[in-house]
Structure 1
């Protein structure tokens, strides 16, 4: 699937207690075979979502206590805390990346 069109591959909703509430997988269109197929299996997406929980927890702890991080002020951190956008959590490969929003 080298010629897939960029798209959303999976959306996961994680609860307050770090439990997955909902996972939806969207197949990508492969231009070489003219078919739709998922980039990863459901189990692989579940493991990727579970792996982002540690990153999410570390960043939320960092944002809730900016003085402990030595970041030098409250300018940029406050707007990030209000928006809830955690941005890129980690890039899995050149076709797949995990983003977070709280």
Structure 2
């Protein structure tokens, strides 16, 4: 069991701010209302994504820490050139669910996570059977429903693996 910070949630949002995938990790995944709570936190970070991405001096895709939610949780962001957003919510208490001493997160700690997520997403887009247009708000209008989340078992498993194994200082996945 991890004794330091861990990932509580990974969110992938489309360029129209539509949710594409949300993964929640232990111990939060055991809470019945976790999906709703983390969906709210991810949605709340979208305005910060917009502000940071509009900064004309920013060349890097890494948007750093978007917001500290409380002493336990913080949201970090990464945006692709096409406007797809990756958000990671870090739990400073980790999987043990209690504060750990001497823990601090730096932006460099999360770059491997974002690069691994981007690689997984690129592999998903390279799949000839995946149609990204099925996951846009316009697709929801055409189908008279909501825009669908990513259903690829391979992609979902890779996101879960990334969230389960990350620890600060991990350089590669």
Residues 46-86 of structure 1: per-residue CA shift (max 9 Å, x gap) = 0000000001011111x23xxxxxxxxxxxx3xx42x3000
Query: How does 1:1-102 map onto structure 2 within 5 Å?
Result: 5-28=4-27, 37=30, 41-61=34-54, 63-64=55-56, 77=57, 80-81=58-59, 83-102=60-79
Unaligned residue ranges in structure 2 (runs of 5+): 80-173
> What SS class does the counterpart of residue 8 from structure 1 fall into?
strand
The answer on whether the counterparts of 1:5 and 1:28 sit within 8 Å (CA) in structure 2 is no
Q: Which one has a bigger Cα radius of gyration?
A: 1
Q: Distance in 2 between matches of 1:7 and 1:28?
A: 10
- What corresponds to 1:68 in structure 2? none
The TM-score normalised by the length of structure 2 is 0.40
Per-residue deviation, 1:28: 3.0
Q: Superposition RMSD on alpha carbons, in Å?
A: 2.2
Higher RCO (C-alpha under 8 Å, 6+ residues apart): 2
The TM-score normalised by the length of structure 1 is 0.66
The answer on whether the counterparts of 1:7 and 1:28 sit within 8 Å (CA) in structure 2 is no
- What corresponds to 2:102 in structure 1? none
Number of equivalenced pairs: 76
